[in-house]
Structure 1
Amino acid sequence: MESSSLSSLLLFHVCFFLCLAPPLLATSSVVNANTSSNTNTTKHNHIWIGPIGHRLITVDIKGSGHFRSVQDAVDAVPENNRKNVLIQISPGNYVEKVVVPETKPYITFQGGGRESTFVEWHDRACDRGANGQQLRTYRTASVTVYANYFSARNISFKNTAPAPKPGMQGWQAVAFRISGDKAYFSGCGFYGAQDTLCDDAGRHYFKQCYIEGSIDFIFGNGRSMYKDCEVHSIATRFGSIGAHDRNRADEKTGFAFVNCTVTGTGPIYVGRAMGQYSRIVYAYTYFDDLVAHGGWDDWGHVNNNNKTVFFGVYKCWGPGAATVSRDRELDFETAHPFLAKSFVNGRHWIAPSDA
């Protein structure tokens, strides 16, 4: 390639990445990726600690990029990374298990399209790891992210383990686990059956994503907003969408679904109280005719009777909305905190054009 052409290509990639990179708050606070960001202990003294510089890494399964493997590209990012790193992943099926450690923040996975770029693996909770012990749910993830300031665009993540039949144990199979803070997803797909998306800990924003599963297929103790997403059930006998694991009244965690569509097969619960203080809100969301009687499940917490969980609905519609809304309809004042990106403190780290 001639030098002038190479320079033009590099300039294009740098400009392209600048458009993708999320804005970062000028502050000295950093949240540990292995803990939830739900306390108020963060101190802000306005010292810039954000990334400096940019780096492009290309991945192509056919060999025309810097690497053939997504994990190899992640491994090429140095520990304690201080650059915005764009990992550009060409269309293809990348059959591998990927981990982004907490020492590698500011990484973006940019795929070639949700329907053409896939990272997939097949672990189940009952499978055994290298140490001979069962993996259990959280370690089954095809992709696990512990790092802060991770983002993904136009790419899909799968766990291809077969869907469990009713009553089968140990078949939880996570496609993606996000345990870092301030993570952003746009135009992504998440495919699995039981426990597809582990929304584990931290603040997260999902925009125009597709999430598919059967049982508790969005679960964890994240503080997350799902905006303009399609949530699709493949339940064959009985299923559930969200299982939130908030366990204290002072935690700021919860799942907020805004302007989403709920489709597929049922019957399904739209929310379950994985934790004693589970918090899930649906607003301006369409529900197909697949909602189970009662709509919600308190997970059998003794003496709970839904007194400590917070399940709410605001101006939802569709043939299944009446079942979801029964005794759960919120007024504007109560619903308002869950309707905007401020729910995840998004004005500090999500560009207005991305919200």
Structure 2
Amino acid sequence: MASLSAAINMARQLGRPATIRLTAGVWREKPVVDVPDLTIVGDGATSVLTFGAAAGLRRPDGTRWGTGGSATLTVAAPGVTLRNLTIRNDFDYLSDLSSGASGGAQAVALSLAAGADRSVVRDCAIEGYQDTLYVREGRAWFEDCRILGGTDFIFGGAAARFEDCTIVSRAIPGPIAGFVAAPSTPAVQPVGLVFHRCRLERERGLADGTVFLGRPWRAGGNMALTGAAAFIDCRMDAHIARSGWTAMGYTAPDGRRTELTPQEARLVEHGSRGPGAAPAADTRRMIDRAAAAALLQATDITNWRPRG
């Protein structure tokens, strides 16, 4: 096949579960996986799927991409598995940081969009700067992945488990260099983003104490969203700020500009270690082993059941 998009189109015609092999090389395209139970397998880090779109840049039709539309790879069907791939948004974020030319630097590498559920991502590199990984909805399992970014680079409302992943904060200049997670979890949903046995690392040149574990995203001022995220048995380098979490601003339904604080959201830790770990604080709440085990059980892949 000449492209991954062409292979996805062929798989759609089969009408049954299928596997696509993405060979080594740089594949510059912007596919959408809308075929249920599709597996895409690469040859490892050398199978690179990349594109360079950002929210403020214009599509060929003249409209702007927007955050979700900027994604290099979009998953919009249940039961999709990705393995042994590099998924990258190569938008030049650092140049845009000084010029502001894009008008919106959110540049997603992988989006689990509307329709995604029971997504599995293993042994993949997911690379970007701002909004690298958008886990919008559904349930997702990430294992042995390497995720690179800066601002809110793992975000969304899904119930997503990150198992044994390496989370790398990129070297962005400034007193605040980034935020790892930005959960927008519905209040009625018991779990959001759960990081288990992950390693929070940094690129060379990123200063100590300049990255927050995250901030709760009340997308669109939706008051029904109270972001949930948990770091369980994770190792954190010294780039993580001692306060751990911070607030995120939003516009309330009455037009008032305000913010959702860590204390109002569901942002917790258990068993953190390393130089970025810190004692319990008002903004850095610790949970006990039983509560941590409940979150792990709720996001265990063996608990998934097919829809319908």
| TM-score (norm. length: structure 2) | 0.84
Structure 1 residue 335: Cα displacement? 1.7
Aligned match of 1:97: 30
- Code of the aligned partner of 2:302: G
Is residue 204–residue 344 contact of structure 1 (8 Å, CA) maintained in 2? no
Is residue 216–residue 261 contact of structure 2 (8 Å, CA) maintained in 1? no
Give the Cα separation in 2 of the matches to 1:213 and 1:231.
8
Q: In the TM superposition, what are the counterparts of 1:198-209 in structure 2 within 5 Å? A: 198-209=134-145
Give the Cα separation in 2 of the matches to 1:98 and 1:87.
13
Aligned match of 1:244: 183
Out of 212, 228, 232, the residue aligned to residue 269 of structure 1 is: 212
> Residues 308 and 344 of structure 1: is their aligned pair in 2 closer, same or farther, counting only changes over 3 Å?
farther
Identity of aligned residues (%): 26
Task: Flag structure 2 segments of 5+ consecutive residues without an equivalent.
Answer: 219-224, 251-257
Aligned match of 1:110: 41
Q: Does 1:162 align with 2:162?
A: no
Structure 1 residue 349: Cα displacement? 5.6
The C-alpha deviation readout for 1:298-330, integer Å capped at 9, x for no partner, is: 203637443430111000100001168774111
Structure 1 residue 252: Cα displacement? 3.4
Count of residue pairs brought into register by the alignment: 278
Give the Cα separation in 2 of the matches to 1:225 and 1:97.
25
Aligned match of 2:112: 178
Give the Cα separation in 1 of the matches to 2:280 and 2:144.
22
- Does the residue aligned with 2:161 lie in a helix, a strand or coil? strand
Give the Cα separation in 2 of the matches to 1:89 and 1:152.
10
Is residue 106–residue 131 contact of structure 2 (8 Å, CA) maintained in 1? yes
Q: Does 1:77 align with 2:21?
A: no
- Code of the aligned partner of 1:192: G
Give the Cα separation in 2 of the matches to 1:228 and 1:349.
23
Q: Does 1:153 align with 2:83?
A: yes
Structure 1 residue 200: Cα displacement? 1.1
Aligned match of 1:329: 286
The C-alpha deviation readout for 1:92-126, integer Å capped at 9, x for no partner, is: 1111111112xx1010010001x211100000111
Q: In the TM superposition, what are the counterparts of 1:1-355 in structure 2 within 5 Å? A: 67-78=1-12, 82-101=15-34, 104-113=35-44, 115-164=45-94, 165=97, 168=100, 169-179=103-113, 180-236=116-172, 237=174, 238-246=177-185, 248-264=186-202, 265-266=206-207, 267-275=210-218, 276-300=225-249, 302=258, 304-322=260-278, 327-340=284-297, 342-343=298-299, 346-348=302-304
> Residues 73 and 323 of structure 1: is their aligned pair in 2 closer, same or farther, counting only changes over 3 Å?
farther
Task: Flag structure 1 segments of 5+ consecutive residues without an equivalent.
Answer: 1-66, 351-355
- Code of the aligned partner of 2:235: Y
Is residue 70–residue 108 contact of structure 2 (8 Å, CA) maintained in 1? yes
Structure 1 residue 292: Cα displacement? 2.2
Give the Cα separation in 2 of the matches to 1:349 and 1:288.
36
Is residue 215–residue 235 contact of structure 1 (8 Å, CA) maintained in 2? no
Give the Cα separation in 2 of the matches to 1:129 and 1:272.
30
> Residues 204 and 300 of structure 1: is their aligned pair in 2 closer, same or farther, counting only changes over 3 Å?
same
Structure 1 residue 82: Cα displacement? 4.0
Give the Cα separation in 1 of the matches to 2:65 and 2:47.
26
> Residues 262 and 303 of structure 1: is their aligned pair in 2 closer, same or farther, counting only changes over 3 Å?
closer
The C-alpha deviation readout for 1:128-159, integer Å capped at 9, x for no partner, is: 11331111111000111101100011111000
- Code of the aligned partner of 2:21: Q
- Code of the aligned partner of 1:300: G
Give the Cα separation in 2 of the matches to 1:82 and 1:219.
32
